[in-house]
A = this chain, B = another copy of it.
């Protein structure tokens, strides 16, 4: 508003000065507004970067560590001490760029894969060279090409074996790479030069891996195991938050139960549903990590996978409950059986609040790594409330029976509503992707029939 007023007054001042000055001013204003837009974009981008850094300050540490490791490896090249290394130093640089990962476990596994892959391919490659050498001349080149084709195909296929893919995928890529380089180079080199080349390459890769491990282990180490542990505790907290929200907003004494749709607590469990991929990769990396902090030798990493699967299964029930509660509140039916309803409502409040407390206790157990306290009876209280509710219902057998089939029917009708959504989504895909339209084809043939008639 203020800037608009200023613009107006400045153009009023310039009315008598003719078109030239006005044009100058206009251009200046345009430049100002362009500069303002640029400033806004830069500020916005800086804010975004700041948020990424604040969300997880270890990202900044990791970036600086990569810079540090590369500078360290380049020092090897600058110093006269390593002048003899010459061209092969680039392998140390490539190793650092490719092996440095966010967590210690990932860096360790990639470093080990790189060393293993290089060693295996070096041995096989020199063997292939010696065999091909027996043929000599053109035969050698053809035989080497055949070997390369076979080895690369076999190694690529082995990457589809689940066990290899999980642990040695990068080692296989490095095997193919090194084997190609050895066979390709071996055509022009002496066997003696070749072995020296292989030796230099392995040494530089070892130096690169050593620098990576030094930086990743001793400069602000980031452990996959700790991330995994934190993820497990965070998942338990998310589940607790949902139940706390349900307890206070739906079953509380003064809860209105209206406009639940936008509430944050009804969304909080969704992060748990999508945590599987992150969890799996963290478990793979955590297994490579040495003893550190609270994590001893043979820490039961697979147990986190089981816990995560149970948490995700729990979120499925929460999802069904959340969508049911939202639809229920929309229906707005009057209170018809207030005594029973109040009773069940109190049971629900007890179940959700005690379950939430139990989950908070479990999350604290995981976070502090202090064994489960035997005085925490929240789970048994919640279980008792659930079984009491069932026992009470089972007194009225007819009602229980009706409720059971009604629950099944109600869940099914929920599914039907979701399938309506799926149908709409598929139809809009068909429209956007311009699927062939059977109705059009039919109406066209109708037109033909009409004309013929």
Contact = CB atoms under 8 A, between A and B. Distances in A.
Interface string A288-332: 000000011001100110110011111111111101110010010
A90 interface: yes
Given A87-B87, A184-B93, A62 B156 contact: yes
A319 B434 CA distance: 34
Nearest to A427: B372
Contact of A422 (B274, B277, B314): B314
A351 B413 contact: yes
Given A184-B74, A344-B405, A414-B317, A97 B176 contact: yes
A49 interface: yes
Interface in A140-195: 141, 144-145, 148-154, 156-157, 160-161, 173, 176-177, 180-181, 183-185, 187-188
A81 interface: no
| Main SS class of interface, A | helix
Contacts of A432: 300, 303
A433 B426 CA distance: 48
A231 interface: no
Given A98-B173, A404-B328, A148 B71 contact: yes
How many copies of this chain does one complex carry?
A: 2
Given A366-B426, A373-B438, A405-B348, A67 B419 contact: no
A118 B309 CA distance: 42
Interface in A385-426: 385-386, 389-390, 393-394, 397-423, 425-426
A89 interface: yes
Minimum-distance CB pairs A-B, first 8: A320-B320, A386-B413, A67-B153, A316-B319, A300-B432, A371-B437, A63-B157, A277-B277
A253 B149 CA distance: 60
A78 B373 CA distance: 71
Interface in A15-69: 48-49, 52-53, 59-60, 62-64, 66-68
Interface stretch (A104-112, A122-130, A352-360): A352-360
